[in-house]
């Protein structure tokens, strides 16, 4: 990882990122996550690298002499990065808690080899959250109910992410022939092109794959 | 009327403003469960009747069944909404809840809370390689490194990063690193003074 950030290890198979690029990709992931109605793919590598970078910076700061202006600027930088990182992970956790049955269902039905939307730690958390909540319902109420009513399908009971909600986006790579579904019965579906750097307000479902591939940025 | 008690539970939570946790209505839950039991028993009896030819009972059975489903839905919604409120409290107060709140929680809710606390702690520790990351910190974007705070309660001695120990006394004002005070501000010990 250290080599990766310094960009000196030519043999590494992973993409080489400068710290600035790393932070940019964190910010992009953060904004996408904030504005997307559903849980997006987890960016574990970015998170790991940023945590490492933060530790590295704090280490340096400890060694630096106090009272220097540069030190406080650096400290501010550390604070801001940590805020973005925490906010990003918090946002994901919120969505996991909000949509837990759906998130776990998606994880279960995921095809072998497809990237997981949850990091291993988030997956463990989601499973525990689900088990904990189910136990609670069962112990307090469900087990006292008539036998045919003791099961609640949480997939039906807990709200689903609203994929029809509208999002703002900026296009990073030009896209052609995006199929837009009709909103009302009178309309028919039509095709649009998205020019680079143009901004749009569009239904999330229509462009969800583009968010995942990084071709557009939610704003 | 069937379902009245159940809807009363929902209303109770609806009336309590966001972030408030009213006392756990054990009595209400019990009454709804009793109503469900009665409905179910009546239905069982009528199902047997219906099987032996009284088909006019079927609509009554269906109606009772709908009441049962509705009661269940209300109870689960009541419990779930309370869990969400308790969850929010964990983020607001940290892992130790104030007594006033704990007083309003049922034993099972306490258990859920402890388990949630544990899951969350495990998750936060696992972030990155080392000690993990406390996600309940850094809630607001940082504007400046140091902030002016006023002490609302006697807290005692408090150590800051460089090893200096300061005395947090009621009504004293301090200029402290923001990342050290965030928790204390949320606990109501310090107050952020905006000039």
> Is the whole model's pTM more than 0.95, yes or no?
no
- The C-alpha atoms of residue A39 and residue B51 are separated, in whole angstroms, by 49
Q: What is the pLDDT of residue A219?
A: 84
Instruction: Check if B163 contacts A (Cβ < 8 Å).
Output: no
Average pLDDT over residues A70-75: 80
For the ranges A117-121, A148-152, A178-182, B143-147, the one whose mean pLDDT is highest: A117-121
Short-list B105, B118, B119, B134, CA closest to B25: B105
Distance CA B46, CA B29 (A): 26
- pLDDT the model gives residue B93: 79
Residue of A nearest to B38 (CA): A146
Per-residue model confidence (pLDDT) at position A20? 83
Q: Which of B33, B44, B70, B76 has the most A C-beta neighbours within 10 Å, making it the best mutation to test the interface with A?
A: B76
Element holding A201 (H helix, E strand): strand A199-203
pLDDT confidence of residue B129: 62
pLDDT at A9 (0 to 100): 40
Lowest mean pLDDT among A45-49, A164-168, B91-95, B108-112: B91-95
Closest-approach residue (CA) in chain B for A79: B142
Q: Do B129 and A97 touch (CB under 8 A)?
A: no
Handedness of CA A28, A34, A38, A44 (dihedral sign): positive
**pLDDT band at residue A67 under the 50/70/90 scheme:** low
Write the CA distances from B148 to B144, B168, B176, integer angstroms. 10, 13, 7
pLDDT of residue A6: 42
The neighbouring-strand residues paired with A175 are A194
In angstroms, what CA-CA distances link B3 with B45, B72, B171? 21, 10, 53
- Are the folds of A2-161 and A162-219 the same? no
CA-CA distance, B58 to B185, in Å (whole number)? 61
* φ and ψ of B155, to 5 deg: -115, -35
The yes-or-no verdict on residue A68 having pLDDT over 50 is: yes
CATH code, residues A2-161: 1.20.58.1030
Q: Which residues 6+ apart lie within 8 Å of B73 measured at CB?
A: A157
Question: How confident is the model at residue A10, as a pLDDT?
Answer: 40
pLDDT in tens, A79-103: 888 888 888 888 998 889 888 888 8
Evaluate if residue A12 carries a pLDDT over 60: no
Spell out which chain A residues touch chain B, with contact meaning CB-CB distance below 8 angstroms: 47-48, 51-52, 55, 66, 72, 75-76, 79-80, 82-83, 85-87, 89-90, 93, 97, 121-122, 124-125, 128-129, 132-133, 135-137, 139-142, 144-146, 149, 152, 157
CA-CA distance, A32 to A83, in Å (whole number)? 16
Mutation target to probe the B interface, by most B beta carbons within 10 A, among A50, A136, A144 is A136
Nearest to A139 among B75, B108, B179 (CB): B108
Q: What is the domain partition of chain A in residue ranges?
A: 2-161, 162-219
Does the domain at residues A162-219 carry the CATH identifier 3.40.50.1820? Answer: no
pLDDT, average across residues B86-99: 82
| Mean pLDDT along residues A159-188 | 81
CA A102 to mean position of chain CA atoms? 15
The model's confidence at residue A11, banded by pLDDT at 50, 70 and 90, is very low
The set of residues, in sequence order, having a beta carbon less than 8 Å from that of B186 and lying 6+ positions away, is B92, B93, B94
Query: Which of A1-10, B74-83, B165-174 is predicted most confidently?
Result: B74-83
R_g over Cα of chain A = 22
User: Whole-number mean pLDDT of chain B?
Assistant: 82
Q: How many CB pairs under 8 A join A and B?
A: 115
Say yes or no: ipTM exceeds 0.85: no
- Which of B29, B76, B119 has the CB atom closest to A157's CB atom? B76
A213 burial (CB, 10 Å; 0-12 / 13-18 / 19+) is exposed
At A182, the pLDDT band (50, 70, 90 cuts) reads confident
Rounded to whole angstroms, how far apart are CA atoms A88 and B51?
A: 59
Q: Summarize the confidence of residues B104-131 as an average pLDDT.
A: 84
Cβ atoms within 10 A of the Cβ of A193, count?
A: 11
Q: What span, in angstroms and rounded, lies between the C-alpha atoms of A98 and A129?
A: 11
- Mapped to the 3 state alphabet, what secondary structure does chain B carry? CCCHHHHHHHHHHHHCCCCCCCCCCHHHHHHHHHHHHHHHHHHHHHHHHHHCCCHHHHHHHHHHHHHHHHHHHHHHHHHHHHHHHHHHHHHHHCCCCCHHHHHCCCHHHHHHHHHHHHHHHHHHHHCCCCCCCCCCCCCCCCCCCEEEEEECCCCEEEECCCCCEEEECCCCEEEEEHHHHHHHHHCCCEEECCC
Q: Note the pLDDT tens digit of each residue in B154-169.
A: 888 887 766 778 888 8
Most confident of A43-47, B61-65, B163-167, B182-186: B61-65
**B42 close to A (CB below 8 A):** no
């Amino acid at each position: 990882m250290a080599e990766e950030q310094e960009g000196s290890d030519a043999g590494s198979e992973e993409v080489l990122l400068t710290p600035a690029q790393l932070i940019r990709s964190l910010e992009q992931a953060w904004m996408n996550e904030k504005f997307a109605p559903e849980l997006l793919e987890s960016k574990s590598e970015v998170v790991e690298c940023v945590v490492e970078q933060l530790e590295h910076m704090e280490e340096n700061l400890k060694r630096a002499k106090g009272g220097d202006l540069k030190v406080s600027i650096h400290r501010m930088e550390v604070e801001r990065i940590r805020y973005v990182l925490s906010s990003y992970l918090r946002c994901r956790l919120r969505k996991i808690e909000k949509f837990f049955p759906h998130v776990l269902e998606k994880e279960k039905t995921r095809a072998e080899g497809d990237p997981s939307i949850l990091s291993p730690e988030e997956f463990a958390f989601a499973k525990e959250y689900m088990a904990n909540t189910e136990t609670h319902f069962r112990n307090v109420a469900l087990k006292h109910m008539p036998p045919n009513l003791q099961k609640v399908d949480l997939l039906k009971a807990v709200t689903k992410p609203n994929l029809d909600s509208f999002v703002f986006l900026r296009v990073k790579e030009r896209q052609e022939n995006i199929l837009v579904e009709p909103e009302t019965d009178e309309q028919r579906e039509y095709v649009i092109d998205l020019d680079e750097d143009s901004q749009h307000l569009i239904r999330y479902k229509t462009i969800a794959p583009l968010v995942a591939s990084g071709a557009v940025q939610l704003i | 009327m069937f379902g009245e008690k159940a809807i009363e539970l929902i209303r109770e939570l609806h009336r309590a403003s966001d972030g408030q946790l009213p006392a756990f209505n054990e009595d209400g839950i019990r009454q709804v469960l009793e109503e469900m039991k009665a409905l179910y028993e009546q239905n069982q009896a009528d199902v047997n009747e219906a099987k032996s030819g009284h088909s006019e009972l079927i609509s009554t059975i269906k109606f009772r069944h709908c009441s049962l489903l509705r009661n269940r839905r209300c109870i689960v919604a009541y419990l779930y909404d309370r869990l969400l409120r308790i969850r929010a409290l964990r983020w607001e107060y940290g892992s130790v809840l104030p007594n006033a709140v704990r007083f309003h929680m049922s034993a099972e809710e306490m258990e859920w809370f402890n388990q949630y606390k544990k899951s969350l702690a495990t998750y936060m520790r696992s972030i990155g390689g080392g000690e993990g990351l406390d996600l309940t910190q850094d809630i607001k974007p940082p504007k400046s490194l140091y902030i002016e705070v006023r002490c609302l309660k006697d807290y005692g001695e408090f150590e800051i990063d460089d090893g200096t120990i300061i005395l947090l006394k009621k009504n004293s004002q301090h200029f402290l690193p923001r990342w050290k005070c965030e928790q204390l501000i949320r606990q109501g010990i310090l107050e952020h003074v905006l000039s």
